[in-house]
Amino acid sequence: MRIDGIILRELHLPLVRPFETSFGVTTERRILLAEVRSEGLTGWGECTAGERPYFSGESTDTAWQVLLNELGPTLASETIEHGGECPRIFGKVRGNPMAKAALENAIWDLEAQREGVPLAQLLGGVREVIPCGVSLGIQKSIPELMATIERELEAGYQRIKLKCKPGWDVEVFEKVRTRWPGILLSCDANSAYKLRDADHLVSFDAFDLLMIEQPLWHDDFYYHSMLQKRLNTAICLDESIRNRRDALAAIEMESCKVINIKLGRVGGFSEAIAVHNAAQERGIPVWCGGMLESGIGRAHNIALSTLENFSLPGDVSASARYWKDDIIEPEVTVSREGEITIMDTPGRGYEVRYDLIEQLTARKEEIRALELVG
Ligand code: OSB
Ligand code: MG
């Protein structure tokens, strides 16, 4: 594939409702999109970096800089056949996985279109539908949370994940479990606890949670393994798992029993598949996390979730839970059974609403090949 052009843009998209985690509140997303043109086809990628460097070290602004000045020019100077070549091409740049994933995933999208196959098939996916759950932010009050859960269960979602932090945990779980004794329920602390909270975390065992996601430090395996020894509930790692080696280390150390895979956090489809395979070979189930993506990132999450070991409901849910108007056509919908049906058209399967994207674009840059820079 000859790369004919790479366009980078930032879109401003207000969420239909604010999303609160232990590290902050998001009301509007600054979405970075990479558009890669090659021989009459266009692949799209989304950078999932947050507005602030609180989930990980990357932010919208750091990713923009790295994409514009490093990764974009490097890719523009290459002839590339497969998305799987991207990790090598970007190998010189340390870190910055979310920036890398935006371009790598666009190449996989292009490759699937060129081959005339759905992206899910190119990735090795085996599912025709994927099971869906929702991640519910910290709410203003318990009654508001109860009403939200009721609505999401009514819509068909198969698993409810509650964002938690000290002061928004056991009292909440207690109320939710009393009302819904049988639902699949999990929680996600985004590193809100310390090892001195271990006794408190052990008390979560009373609520029959499917898992406790990332209770301790974002970069830790060791203390999570200490904690897992004391818990009956499975620990799921999100932030700590940056690549296949991390997954192997965490599994070996028994730091977790489940892994959340996020395309951006691991740097794109190649590494996501590698983490998936490593976990599968060791009997560790995975599920696909979310980063409040627009339709483009969402389409990629859906394709990834078709791999065999994505056996638990993920955080990939309907467009309408996030956006008044998503930037893809059709938007992502979830059935009354809590499933998304995989598109059978080539590539990402959802058309891009180009006019809407143009309208929402706050900044845009055309990337030039490396030899033309400086
Ligand atoms: O830890 O899974 C997380 C959103 C932003 C940053 C981190 C996380 C999340 C979510 C939202 O849980 C998942 C989604 O609905 O996209
Ligand atoms: Mg998480």
Report the C-alpha gap between 272 and 246 in whole angstroms.
12
Does residue 373 register a pLDDT over 60? no
Which ligand lies nearest to the CA atom of residue 315 in the structure?
A: 1
pTM: 0.97
Residue type, 353: R
Active site residue 163: yes
Q: Closest Cα to atom 9, ligand 1: which residue? A: 291
Structure-block tokens of residue 14: 């207000």
Q: Name the active-site residue from 100, 161, 163, 257.
A: 163
Is residue 165 annotated as a catalytic residue, yes or no? no
State the chain's maximal CA–CA distance in angstroms.
64
Which tokens belong to 89?
């091409």
* DSSP one-letter string for 280-306: HHTT--EEE---S--HHHHHHHHHHTT
Is 291 a pocket residue for ligand 1 (Cβ < 6 Å)? yes
pLDDT tens digits, one per residue of 6-53: 999 999 999 999 999 999 999 999 999 999 999 999 999 999 999 999
**Minimal CA–CA distance to 184: which of 59, 331, 315, 31?**
315
Q: Mind listing the pLDDT tens digit for each residue in 97-106?
A: 999 999 999 9
Which ligand is closest in space to the CA of residue 23? 1
- Residues with CB in 5 Å of ion ligand 2: 188, 213, 238
For helices 244-252 and 269-281, angle between their N-to-C axes, nearest 10 degrees: 20
- Quick: pLDDT tens for 307-345: 999 999 999 999 999 999 999 999 999 999 999 999 999
Taking CA atoms only, the protein residue closest to ligand 1 atom 13 is 290
Yes or no: say if 255 and 237 are a contact pair by the CB < 8 Å rule: yes
Nearest to 111 by CA among 11, 38, 27: 38
Give the model's pLDDT for residue 368.
74
- What are the helix (H) ranges across 267-363? 269-281, 295-304, 354-360
Can you tell me the distance from the alpha carbon of 77 to that of 139, in angstroms, rounded to the nearest whole number? 47
pLDDT tens per residue across span 153-195: 999 999 999 999 999 999 999 999 999 999 999 999 999 999 9
For 195, the enclosing helix (H) or strand (E) is: none
Share of the chain above pLDDT 90, in %: 97
Question: pLDDT tens, 58-116?
Answer: 999 999 999 999 999 999 999 999 999 999 999 999 999 999 999 999 999 999 999 99
Q: Calculate how far, in angstroms, residue 212's C-alpha sits from the geometric centre of ligand 2.
A: 10
